[in-house]
Structure 1
Amino acid sequence: MCKVIAVTNQKGGVGKTTTTVNLGIGLAKEGKKVLLIDADPQGSLTASLGYVEPDDLGTTLATIMLAVINEEEIKPEDGILHHEENVDLLPANIELSALEVTLGNVMSREMIMKDYIEMMRERYDYILIDCMPSLGMMTINALVASDAVLIPVQAAYLPVKGLQQLIKTISMVKKRLNRKLQIMGILLTMVDFRTNYAKDISTMLHVTYGSKITIFENVIPLSVKAAETSAEGISIYAHCPRSKVSNAYKSLTQEVLENEK
């Protein structure tokens, strides 16, 4: 049974794309069939997997969603790119920005991505959606299409403070559009526990949200190596398999798998 996970936070630079790449490839290493969907017009996920010129790609998420809107035939293999680390990718580029504007005039506009993902569920064990840093219509589409939400949060005051609006939006989508939607958990990223500040932020996160939402025991440490992988088009496992950040993503993968049992 396929699990669809939206990786989202309206705050940029909190590690959404890095988390999507390394969790997805981590799941693939455990024998799971994984599709990664880039739902950000900046194409960060697409570039992080080696497609450095996403605007040159012929078929993307925008193409697929436009086909859904126009009730055109879509084949499951349309637009899918295969990465060397055994994950599939549906890429994105700047065309997604124009599509988001178009969605404002579309009937049942919140359901367009869901229609596509429902078709793809039987082909994969996990589908991970890397959302754009906003709470616009594209992110709402991702939440409506998903079973669960994974929220990466940088270990800093403003990203943690900004969770209130995101959680409110998720609750609204659950109430009105997707009853099965659950928050899988909050993942603390870019953590430097050598500082008291990071420890204070972690404490604030647990005090504020710990009684309502799962906070992953595993955290992602601050790492230059994790950033370097994006430029190389590979995961942290291929770049530096024995590093602390690689071990952290391995632990996260196991937590996600345990959550399914």
Structure 2
Amino acid sequence: MMVKTQEEIRIIAEGGKLLGAILEDVVSRIREEVTGHELAEFAARRMQEAGGKPAFVGYGTPPYPAALCVSLNNCVVHGIPSDYAFQPGDIISLDIGMIYQGLYTDMARTVSLEPITQRERELIDTASQALDVGISEIRPGNTTGDIGYAIQQYVEGKGFGVVRDLAGHGVGHALHEKPEITNFGTRRSGTKLKTGMVLAVEPMITLGDWHVRIARDGWSVMTADGSKAAHAEDTIVVTDSGYEILTR
């Protein structure tokens, strides 16, 4: 069901608040010589301590192997954590999902290790701002197309690319549910939003061309032209008056 009950929303909100705090803790550990593998192990421990469990482990085909996606530089999303030690100039996108009392939440943030260029800083900021722009379109009667249109106009207005091959989604009973929420499109198109829907909105943007390719590991989504990328995501519930962000 795309529309969740009040009790389900309460649980998702509780899990979302916990997940937001966990990702803040993960981000605070980022520094030179730390590895993605270390961050993923820390994230898994924190989720277990919070009474949840990682949503990503074992997901998909081939089964995803970690509690956290760590996507570096020209990797847009779904990067597999490794023993690579972070270096100055790295752009690091972290995507995390948790199952809490049987229900799912999902979120992502992009950070960096200085020095990065001014344009790279703008890339990261634009992903975060585009998330807020998209979320601001959430209210009963609006559509998923309204969200995508707003994100696309904002991102392309800043001169960045909007990845077309990946999308946001419903979330709750599973990690990925209907409706699909693309980051591009036209107003009044797609699925009409209703009170009680729980959505994961997630702009994925590039410094260059928007086309992507899948790496040999079967998971990492890379920019086709090698340009750097950024990603931001929150879980949001549609309310009678608009929306509530559940992962902040």
Could you state the TM-score of these two structures normalised by the residue count of structure 2?
0.29
Choose between structure 1 and 2: higher helix proportion: 1
Q: TM-score, normalised by structure 1?
A: 0.28
Higher strand share: 2
**Higher RCO (CA-CA < 8 Å; seq separation 6+):** 1
